[in-house]
A = this chain, B = another copy of it.
Amino acid sequence: MTAKRVLAIGGAEDRENECEILKEFVRLAGGDDGEILIMTVATHEVSETVKEYRKVFRRLGVPRVKAFDVSLREDTRSQRGMKLIESSTGIFFSGGDQLDIASLLGGTDMLALLQERYCRGCVIAGTSAGAAMMSTSMLISGKPEDSPRFGNVEIGPGLDFIKGTVIDTHFSQRGRCGRLMTAIAHYPQDIGIGIDEDTAILVNNGTDFKVLGSGSVIIVDGGPMTHTNLNDLQHGDRLELHDLTLHVLPAGARFDLKKQRPVVDRRKRRQAA
């Protein structure tokens, strides 16, 4: 069976030094045998973004680095774009605005092709907005540094590369704990995944993921929630939520998306003296 892999990065990944996360993307995409496609759907700064990522992917040993921009729905009908997606072994979505990605690609043949390529082993990676769009329920906006209020986050359907999730990025750096809890209060069937900057989850066959990078991933699980006042509230009122479950996962930690549980690796326990 072909391995299906998605790499969702919390933004601001190292592009100067060790490039741990991008190096792993390059490795999964086949290294110097691979072909990487930079997709700048989310950003308005297309040429700067392409220039920066092209440079780093080349430095990491990939000779064939292509770029394709979608800034209008009609761009998704481009034959050149479809051919680039067809031939790539790794596709990288830049940051910007996740709603741009969903509204430009949603329902198009280009998205269907991206999903087909994913199923055939092409690694799909995205940073910041490029990671947020991979959710089932996509966090579009929401005030950070506030505690949970009814209706205080904007959520829409994501492109669903990582099923059953809500993904938030720049997580600790932008104090987004309250906003992810708010999202999960609205959609407790999804697992909330808050990814720090320079940190990523590498999802394997849609069933489990491993954490990479210098930060942590915070999981908010609304399944065990025993009480919510959400259905009694007006827009902007403060939420009361009991028994959310939280996991803190640093690099190397694993999470089972089917069981919705972190995996305990007993081998990592300290050796007895």
Footprint of B on A, CB under 8 Å?
144-148, 171-178, 181, 185, 196, 215-216, 218, 220, 224, 226-227, 229, 231-232, 237-251, 253, 262, 264, 268-270
Contacts and interface: CB of A to CB of B under 8 A. Distances in A.
A40 to B, nearest CB: 28
Contact of A172 (B178, B196, B227, B240): B178
A148 B176 CA distance: 14
Contacts of A264: 226-227, 242
Nearest to A228: B248
A145 B175 contact: yes
Given A227-B264, A232-B268, A215 B147 contact: yes
B247 A246 contact: no
Contact of A174 (B175, B216, B253): B175
A196 B181 CA distance: 15
Contact of A239 (B146, B227, B250): B250
A247 B241 contact: yes
A216 B268 contact: no
A231 B271 CA distance: 11
Contact of A171 (B147, B229, B250, B269): B147
18 contacts: A144-B175, A147-B216, A172-B175, A175-B176, A177-B177, A181-B246, A224-B245, A227-B264, A231-B270, A232-B269, A239-B248, A239-B250, A240-B250, A240-B253, A241-B247, A244-B245, A244-B246, A244-B247
